[in-house]
Amino acid sequence: MEYIEINPQIELFINRHSSPTWIIEDATIDFIDLTYIFKGRAYYSINGTVHEVNQGDLICIPKGSRRSATTDPTNLMTSYALNIHLYDLKGEDVQLPFPLISHIGEPEELHSLYNELTFEWLKKNKGYELKARALLLLILHYYFKSLYYKGNNVSIDKRIQKAIRYILSNLQNQIEVEELASIAGLTTAYFGTLFKKYIGASVKEYINRMKINNAENILLSGEFTVQEAAYKCGFEDIYYFSKLFKKIKGFPPSRILLENRRSDRQEIETLSK
């Protein structure tokens, strides 16, 4: 399963600050318990097995599990607890593909997302449920990136992130490696080495791939010709663009326009019947 078309619903969200006598009574849960340990230590019994969890751990208890919990009275647990329901687009239950216990660490990005979710959940302004669900999807994406998607569990150097943001904001322009190195505050040689270490491709390869992805989106809109798409992505040479597009995508850019026309004809024929 790709876990792209999922619909999460929050039953309960709480920034939990446990007392020495805090407990979760033993019961079978009808939701997914997704709890991130912000500080301290706790002991969760899941289907009869006791698990010790500590700062930076994520607990993912599937729906239908028997669960109870206590905290270490000498090291009180603080956590972000989400009781959620997860469905596919047909309304069928979906379980998360995470281990019962994972160590996530203490990433700033994750803390920021939970802080914003806490803020929205407690304010309860009109429409807060929609914002809370959007934040939950971002939190789930972080966990998928860390625990499920292959090759995406390494934090990217902030200097490389800065260069990537510049690339994605300037796909219509010519982008030079020297320019990116300057933005990152690095020498050109070291920037190239660091970029490949984190991204797994050279700077030029990455720029070309992003430009071609952008061109594909432009063509899929059905609003532009191949030449116009090429120009909008910073390519002056239409032949080079077409050759590069086919190399990266495996088919020529003109195929998208042909498929768009075919789809339009079929729609017209269907409506005329």
CATH, domain range 6-147: 2.60.120.280
pLDDT of 156 reads: 78
| Cβ 176 vs Cβ 215: under 8 Å | no
- Mean pLDDT, each 10-residue run in order, the chain (273 residues): 86 94 96 96 96 96 96 96 93 93 91 94 91 95 85 71 92 94 96 91 95 93 91 94 95 89 62 56
Note whether 6-147 and 158-260 share their fold.
Answer: no
pLDDT of 200 reads: 86
CB atoms inside a 10 Å sphere around CB 59: 23
* Spatial separation of the C-alpha atoms in residues 219 and 223, rounded to whole Å: 7
pLDDT of 249 reads: 93
User: Residue 199 half-sphere exposure, CB side, CA atoms within 13 Å?
Assistant: 21
Helices (H) and strands (E) in the chain, counts: 9, 9
Q: Hey, which CATH number is domain 158-260, 1.10.10.60, 3.20.20.140, 3.40.50.970, 2.160.10.10?
A: 1.10.10.60
pLDDT of 149 reads: 79
pLDDT of 1 reads: 66
Residue ranges of the domains in the chain? 6-147, 158-260
pLDDT of 259 reads: 85
| Cβ 71 vs Cβ 62: under 8 Å | no
pLDDT of 20 reads: 95
